[in-house]
Chain A
């Protein structure tokens, strides 16, 4: 979980109000509307004037993490965020990003459009944590533009999902760029629509996507995971679901589209249930049935 640390560069927002910004040497952080006004070049990425959200521009090699925390603390709040993160050439950065509702009964809307630009030979580890209430609607739509020889590690983790989550992610890889994406979602009384697409546009680019989806009580998960190879490139999809409750549904659709005869795309997909043998084994270790199920789920979600 991302923590506010005095050494980190940080952006914090609660409801619609920017609570704190901590800039550090070589890192510019602004609310998105200010970035739109002050920095003309950002307009091509924002496309339209943003109302709220963050702009982070990493110009020099940081010796600290970037952290953001977007929270909702009031009832019926509707956030419409436009976020832009730009990592300059040759820079390695790590970002811990939290989006959450402070309480579980706020009935809020969180809509976020994000664009993350990795310039040539840049590298980013982006850890994205979500924690929502049972009535919330959440709709993140992120695009990652990966320049030549850049590297992205994207980890999305949602162990407290909202009532409705529409999560859309697109990654565009230039030559030699690599993207490694992992989505971990533990659905409980939730409707989840997940769509991730990796476009391998550049020569020798690579994309790996891992989905680990758990369907607990009254959940409906639909995941579409796609890789398009438009150049000699390599891609792999690993989609795994664990259906815990019989009143839930998981639908996994891996899709490979190869538009270059030198490209190599592979996938594996499976949906399983909790193994009775594992469950009984753990019970003979003194764990209750519920504790054993939770441990098996934890292992499933953490397993690489």
Chain B
């Protein structure tokens, strides 16, 4: 298994946020993780990326056969895990092109440049990282950084939020071309599920209250249910009780 999460329990600010999460992703597989606000999705992906803000009280994270549960974030990145943040912080005084150069310096193997393919108004690269970026610009910047990391597993946290349909299509085309077609494993975190129509994940998970309560191959079915009934229907699902 490429990525395996076993019974992951995580605390943040003294509260248990993840209550025993299990997940498996195969090499080159595209999976989605849906869930309502505050269900634990972002915490989950931050923990996979190694953010030391969260304390793992139980469970294991295994990536490419190696246990990485206690590995610092930069080492996980070097192993091939790349996370696009939902709300990335601004890095004042540092231009995006400078950060990308710094990222590239730390990488082994071929350097990848995507600036021209993504640049919004032609000047995103020359602006300070995430400072006064619009919602859409932040998403583009995140994808740009993630692609530059030469990843093996990409986690996109709400990459579709704040994008109009035109930009969403552009983003989805690039994700398909640079990640899915190249057999790079992908975990898509989404609240609305809009992007799933473009990327067609092989498996869709639903997280509720710190647990994955549903796994379904047909993403359209999951989207239909959520659209019609909201996540309340999931709560009534017999699997939830188990």
Contacts and interface: CB of A to CB of B under 8 A. Distances in A.
User: Do A and B interact with each other, yes or no?
Assistant: yes
Interface of A: 275-278, 280-289, 291, 295-296, 298-303
27 contacts: A277-B53, A277-B89, A278-B91, A280-B51, A280-B53, A281-B89, A283-B72, A283-B74, A284-B50, A284-B51, A284-B73, A284-B85, A285-B77, A285-B103, A285-B149, A286-B103, A286-B107, A289-B74, A291-B102, A295-B91, A295-B94, A295-B99, A298-B94, A299-B92, A299-B128, A300-B92, A302-B94
Interface residues of B, number: 29
A278 B52 CA distance: 12
* Most-contacted residue by chain B among A276, A282, A291, A298 (CB, 10 A): A282
Nearest to A277: B89
B88 interface: yes
Contacts of B83: 284
Interface of B: 49-53, 72-74, 76-78, 82-83, 85, 88-94, 99, 102-103, 106-107, 128, 145, 149
Nearest to B131: A303
A303 B93 contact: yes
Given A284-B49, A284-B73, A301 B89 contact: no
A276 B53 contact: yes
A212 to B, nearest CB: 9
Contacts of B49: 284
A282 B91 contact: yes
Contacts of A295: 91, 94, 99, 102
A288 B91 contact: no
B77 A286 contact: yes
A300 B93 contact: yes
User: Which 7 A-B pairs rank lowest in CB-CB distance, beginning with the nearest?
Assistant: A299-B93, A303-B93, A286-B77, A299-B94, A283-B73, A302-B93, A303-B92
A286 B106 CA distance: 7
Given A284-B51, A284-B82, 15 more contacts: A280-B53, A281-B91, A284-B73, A285-B77, A285-B103, A286-B77, A287-B106, A291-B102, A295-B94, A299-B91, A299-B92, A300-B92, A301-B93, A303-B92, A303-B128
Contacts of A301: 93
Contacts of B90: 278
